[in-house]
Amino acid sequence: MTREPLPSFGRLSGVRKVFDRRNDSPLVAIEDVSFDIAQGQLISLLGPSGCGKTTVLRILAGLTEATSGTVEIRGRPVTGAQRDFGVAFQAPTLMPWRSIIENVLFPMEVQGRKDGAARDRARELLKLVGLEGFEQVYPKQLSGGMQQRAALCRALIHEPTLLLMDEPFGALDELTRMEMNDLLLDIRRLTKATVLFVTHSISEAVYLSDVVLVFSKRPARIALRLEIDIPYPRSINVRYSEHFNRLEQQASIALGVNR
Partner 1 sequence: MSGQNISRIVYPAIGILLIVLAWQAYIVAFRVPVVVMPPPTKVMSALAADWRLLLVESWTTFVECVYGFALAVIVGILIAVMVTASRGLSLMFYPILIATQSIPKVAIAPLVLVWFGTGIESKIAIAFIVAFFPMVVDTATGLRATPEDLLDLARSLKCTRWQIFWKIQVPSALPFIFSGAKVAVTLAVIGAVIGEFVGSDSGLGNLVLSANAQVNLPLVWAALVFLSILGMMLYAATVVAERILTPWVESASQ
Longest Cα separation, the chain: 57
Closer CB to partner 1, 162 or 211, in the complex: 162
Closer CB to partner 1, 21 or 140, in the complex: 140
Which residues ranging from 57 to 76 are in contact with partner 1 (CB under 8 A)? 61-63
- Burial string for 151-163 (b: 16+ CB within 10 Å, else e) reads bbbbbbbbebbbb
Site string for partner 1, 178-197 (x = CB under 8 A): --------------------
CB of residue 140 to partner 1, shortest distance in Å: 4
CB of residue 184 to partner 1, shortest distance in Å: 19
Contact call for residue 171 and partner 1 (CB under 8 A)? no
- How many residues sit close enough to partner 1 to count as binding (CB under 8 A)? 23
Q: Report which secondary-structure segment, H or E, holds 190.
A: helix 174-191
Whether residue 53 contacts residue 220, with contact meaning beta carbons closer than 8 Å, is answered with yes
Which residues ranging from 92 to 121 are in contact with partner 1 (CB under 8 A)? 93, 95-97, 106-107, 109-111
Q: Which of 88, 62, 64, 63 is nearest to 73 (CA)?
A: 62
Contact call for residue 89 and partner 1 (CB under 8 A)? yes
Task: Give ∠ CA 248-85-116 in degrees, rounded to 5.
Answer: 120
Whether residue 35 contacts residue 65, with contact meaning beta carbons closer than 8 Å, is answered with no
Sheet with strand 162-166: strands edge to edge:
85-88, 162-166, 194-199, 42-46, 211-215, 222-227
Q: Is 259 helix (H, G, I), strand (E, B) or coil?
A: coil
Among 141, 143, 235, 258, binds partner 1 (CB under 8 A): 141
Contact call for residue 79 and partner 1 (CB under 8 A)? no
Contact call for residue 87 and partner 1 (CB under 8 A)? yes
Closer CB to partner 1, 96 or 116, in the complex: 96
Chain-centre distance for alpha carbon 12: 16
Closer CB to partner 1, 35 or 106, in the complex: 106
Contact call for residue 138 and partner 1 (CB under 8 A)? yes
Residues near partner 1 (CB under 8 A): 61-63, 80-83, 85, 87, 89, 91, 93, 95-97, 106-107, 109-111, 138, 140-141
